[in-house]
Amino acid sequence: MRTKKTKKINSGVLLLSILILASSLLSSCAIYVEAAQEEERQIVEIAPVPDINSLPLMNDRSIHDMEADPASIIYLYLTVMPGAASDYADFTWERINQTINRFGVVNPTIRANALLQQGDENGPVYGMFGYGLVMPNATVSVRGQSSTRYAYQKSYRVLLFDEAEAFRGTRNVALNNHSFDATRIRNKLAWDLLRELPGIVVARTQFVHLFVKDLTAYPPHATFVDYGLFTHVEIMNRAFLRNHGLCPDGHLYKIRHFNFNEYDALRLQTDPYFDHDSFDLIISPRARTNDHQKLLDFLAVINDYSIDIEYILENYIDLESYTTWMAFNLLFGNYDFINQNYFIYSPLNSTRWYFFHWDMDMVFWNPEVLDRLLSPRGLSILWEVVLHRRAFKSDTFLNALIERMDLIMEIVTPEKVEELMALYYPVVAPFFLRPPDNRQYVFSDGTPDKSYFYADWNSFAHRLEIYKEFFLSSLNYPQPFFVGEPEIMEDGRILFSWEAAFHFNNERMFYDFTLANDIFFEDIIVEQNNLIPTMALLDISLPPGNYYFKISVRDTQGNETDAYLRTVDPLDRRNFLFGVSFFEITEDGELIYRP
């Protein structure tokens, strides 16, 4: 008979045996599973991390869905209220509409408080933006550059307070009047046509009927005044980048008076000589406003002629964006984009820059006017911008530009233009026939002069081929060339020098130089033709007085282009005399050049 002690020992042995056996089995299983996994393991292909410069521009176009109807119109009601002097918002509505700053452009710091509301033709509507508010939710000021000060009707900037509700995702509401456009549709038409094109960023836009009630007047106005037809265009800033799915921490600049030169005023903010106003007059930062190193590096590359333009186009510029921007402006007769009215953008951690359209109320210019203002040919006006001048000498860029033109004309046909304009007409035409929109286009008896309106309206769609031919023909001409400052040599002779002209067809070229006593070159002093060297050395002594000279270049086909000079025509100050400049010989025999 076994004892309890024996049973406990046997139980312990049994338990130990079971544990050893289990451990062995588990070890065997583990070894087997590991071996099986090693036999069955597959090596998957992992895509390399892409270079950010090789990625396409990510642009969320669904944001345009709310303006799916291009002819839709919204009604905005603006109540202008007195503000505090400490906020620089204590100006009257009358004073705001008269203001310009020391640079001759409108001053956005002269503003008043305002309440912005949305409604219908009868007033603000429940459930719409700003309904029920009685206190200001914004400030209002005049917006625009030099042309705005001459306009009878102004354009406005409504800047919503930080604590206020945003209007369609933005706090900066631009209301553009385009009073110098008889049709009032040029800018909106351009934006709506751009929405048809691939690979570019397009601002949202919509017609606006604006009403204003002025509480800064004495006595305050009790009713809203009809201010007519405006266009709301989405302001490009950090919020714009975020709303369109772009990089809100990227670099975004508005071009104001900029030729891609290395201007002395463009400095880092840490530079003791940095001046914000001087910087902003050339190129205005709208996102990442405190870091300009990337911009300065970009300009240094463009102005370094030891760096091949092909390398710059491949590594620093998005060619699709650049050629689309350039092609659209040229095809639609917009020559107000040369050194202003557009944006450049570069995402964070990228070296590549993109071009965004802006302010296109000069599209569909009268071709006859363009031919007069841009003599000799359409391309020549681009030559003053160093980037364009270098890019057009690249076959890569020129071929891509022409291909982009062909693509645009396949998508944006004259029929498409007419289709959009037919949608606009019921909205726009009634405004033109009554005040305040017809104020600049009336006969002496006050009745509307419809000729301005219909002359433009009926010709837009037929101008596309004219603009394209205007550009293509310029490729057969010598391009304009820059002229140096005349100087009196030590031996008394006068030296005129200039750079060599460029010809797309590599034609042989000759220069003609003329010096005269009068601006119309009726009293000629010296004339030298068929010059091959880029200089004219005059062995003459000139008495004190003003003198005029002109320089031009011809190819073997007789195609002639003027030097990059122009002087206002004294008989018609709307026109220019191209290739003409003048200088003065003082009583002391000094030559003073007056380009």
DSSP string, 271-298: STT--HHHHHHHEEEEESTT--HHHHHH
Radius of gyration of the chain (CA): 33
Instruction: Give per-residue pLDDT as tens, 503-516.
Output: 999 999 999 999 99
- Which spans in 307-413 are helix H? 309-315, 319-331, 367-373, 386-391, 395-411
3-class secondary structure, 158? strand
Rounded CA separation 177/156 (Å): 8
Q: Would you state the pLDDT for residue 443? A: 52
Position with higher pLDDT, 248 vs 458 = 248
Whether the per-residue pLDDT at 147 is higher than 60: the answer is no
Strand ranges, E, within 436-491: 487-488
Query: 538: helix, coil or strand?
Result: strand
Instruction: Give the model's confidence band at 389: pLDDT under 50 very low, under 70 low, under 90 confident, else very high.
Output: very high
pLDDT digits (tens, 9 = 90+) for 447-500: 656 676 777 788 888 888 888 888 888 889 999 899 999 999 999 999 999 999
Is 29's pLDDT higher than 80? no
Cα 352 from Cα 359, distance rounded (Å): 23
Residue 148's φ and ψ, nearest 5 degrees, are -65, -35
CB atoms within 10 A of CB 205: 23
The CA distance from 365 to 410, in Å, is 21
Q: How far apart are CA 508 and CA 329, in angstroms?
A: 31
Q: What six digits make up the tokens of 225?
A: 């005044």
Cα–Cα distance, 69 to 496 (Å, whole number): 59
Strand 73-81 and strand 205-214: the pairing is parallel
Residue with more model confidence, 170 or 43: 170
pLDDT score recorded for residue 253: 97
Angle at 163 between CA 161 and CA 169, to 5 degrees: 75
119 pairs with which residues across the strands? 75, 124
Q: What phi-psi label fits residue 300: left (phi over 0), alpha (psi between -120 and 50 degrees) or beta?
A: alpha
- pTM of this prediction? 0.84
| E strand segments, 376-492 | 487-488
Please say whether the beta carbons of 164 and 136 come within 8 A: no
Share of the chain above pLDDT 70, in %: 83
CA dist., res. 82 & res. 92, Å (int): 7
Report the sign of the C-alpha dihedral through residues 421, 425, 427, 432, in that order: positive
Of 84-98, 414-428, 486-500, 540-554, minimum mean pLDDT range:
84-98
What does the alpha-carbon distance between residue 319 and residue 312 come to, in Å, rounded to a whole number? 10
Rounded CA separation 221/93 (Å): 11
Mean pLDDT of 396-404: 95
Q: Residue 460 in contact with residue 364, Cβ under 8 Å?
A: yes
User: Which pLDDT score, from 0 to 100, does residue 152 have?
Assistant: 72
- pLDDT at position 434: 80
Tell me what the pLDDT averaged over the chain comes to: 85
pLDDT at 58: 61
Distances (CA, A) of 429 to 229, 424, 436, 449: 10, 8, 13, 13
Mean pLDDT of 116-130: 96
CB of 571 closer than 8 Å to CB of 585: no
pLDDT at 22: 45
Pairing of strands 509-516, 524-531: antiparallel
Residue range 314-366, pLDDT digits in tens: 999 999 999 999 999 999 988 888 889 999 999 998 999 999 999 898 888 87
- Which is higher by pLDDT, 439 or 46? 46
pLDDT digits (tens, 9 = 90+) for 542-557: 999 999 999 999 999 9
Q: What is the pLDDT of residues 355-380, one digit of tens each?
A: 999 989 888 887 776 666 555 455 77
Angle between helices 319-331 and 395-411 (to 10 degrees): 60
Q: Which domains does the chain have, with CATH numbers?
A: 61-240 (no CATH), 487-594 (2.60.40)
At 13 the pLDDT is 45
- For residue range 252-288, list pLDDT tens digits in order: 999 999 999 999 999 999 999 999 999 999 999 998 8
pLDDT at 151: 67
Q: Cα–Cα distance between 118 and 525 in angstroms, integer?
A: 68
3-class DSSP assignment, residue 56: coil
